[in-house]
Amino acid sequence: MGVQVSPSILSADFARLADECQRVAGAADWLHVDVMDNHFVPNLTLGLPVVESLLAAVTTPVDCHLMIEDPDRWAPAYAEAGAGSVTFHVEAATAPITLARDIRRAGARAGMGLRPATPVDAYADLLPEIDMLLVMTVEPGFGGQRFLDVVVPKIRRARELAKGRDLDLWIQVDGGVSAETIEVCADAGADVFVAGSAVYGADDPAAAVRSLAAQAERATASSWWCTGS
């Protein structure tokens, strides 16, 4: 799988969500849906009922990013509802291995998220249990924050770990991803790019998605980790 872009609808107009999703249809690989519970993060967005309605209204696969406490209890329902990818935060999970298996069993790709200060090496043994590692490049909770370039070595380390074990692991970056920062992420090893304000702040969101994808593809082609095969 090559470069993928997952626009975050956190920066869209919540009163017109289905229309906003339609604006990136055909360009976006995924729709990134940020679920926040005002406990794991200091913000509140939407939950399972809205995700269920969205799933019925859109054809683009849905990538749920759960910034919630007790994902062990809540995350599998998002997979059962039909989300193509469900990401929980490892800092919030009690039993991340069991949870990843539950998500996969329910038919979704299992993602595991790391806050900016959470090291990846501590979770190296878990990587075969997941399909995607989310490396947060801002503190989770809000769109429109500044990219934390201190996290870039962790993207690189995650890709090293995946390559060392010959894992087909997607590495997603989320937070402050834009035309200014996407290349450094792709070069380090990311291949799934979440962008909220850089997409929905643009006059033409679909064109913004295509432009970000093209930039990332160019950076990946000349990166240390891309074999070129």
Instruction: Write the DSSP string, 113-128.
Output: EE-TTS-SGGGGGGGG
Candidate residues 27, 31, 32, 81; the one interacting with ligand DX5 per rule CB under 6 A: 32
Could you tell me the CA-to-CA distances from 46 to 17, 53, 92, 225 in Å, in that order? 12, 11, 18, 36
Which residues, at least 6 apart from 118, have a Cβ–Cβ distance to it below 8 Å? 90, 91
Candidate residues 20, 102, 174, 187; the one interacting with ligand DX5 per rule CB under 6 A: 174
> Which residue of the set 63, 102, 131, 174 is catalytic?
174
Binding status of residue 29 toward ligand DX5 by CB under 6 A: no
Binding status of residue 118 toward ligand DX5 by CB under 6 A: no
Contacts of ligand DX5 in 182-211 (CB under 6 A):
194-198
Binding status of residue 176 toward ligand DX5 by CB under 6 A: yes
What is the torsional sign of CA 120, 198, 68, 80? negative
Could you tell me the CA-to-CA distances from 196 to 10, 15, 108, 141 in Å, in that order? 6, 16, 23, 12
Tell me the two tokens of residue 207. Answer: 């064109």
> Which residue of the set 29, 34, 37, 102 is catalytic?
34
Under the rule (CB under 5 A), what is the footprint of Zn ion? 34, 65, 174
Of 10 and 219, the one with the shorter C-beta distance to ligand DX5 is: 10
Binding status of residue 177 toward ligand DX5 by CB under 6 A: yes
- String of contacts with ligand DX5 for each residue 38-67, x by CB under 6 A: ---------------------------x--
The window from 122-130, 134-142, 151-159, 180-188 that contacts ligand DX5 (CB under 6 A) reads: 134-142
CB of 149 to ligand DX5, least distance (A): 14
For residue 34, indicate whether it is catalytic: yes
Q: Residue 31: what are its φ and ψ, rounded to 5°? A: -110, 120
| Cα–Cα dist 92/185, whole Å | 25
Residues in the chain: 229
Of 179 and 221, the one with the shorter C-beta distance to ligand DX5 is: 179
Binding status of residue 93 toward ligand DX5 by CB under 6 A: no
Across the chain, the runs of DSSP E, i.e. the strands, are 4-7, 31-36, 62-67, 85-89, 109-114, 132-136, 170-174, 192-195
| Cα–Cα dist 50/9, whole Å | 12
Binding status of residue 115 toward ligand DX5 by CB under 6 A: no
CB 190 within 8 A of CB 171: yes
Binding status of residue 175 toward ligand DX5 by CB under 6 A: yes
Binding status of residue 86 toward ligand DX5 by CB under 6 A: no
Catalytic center residues: 34, 174
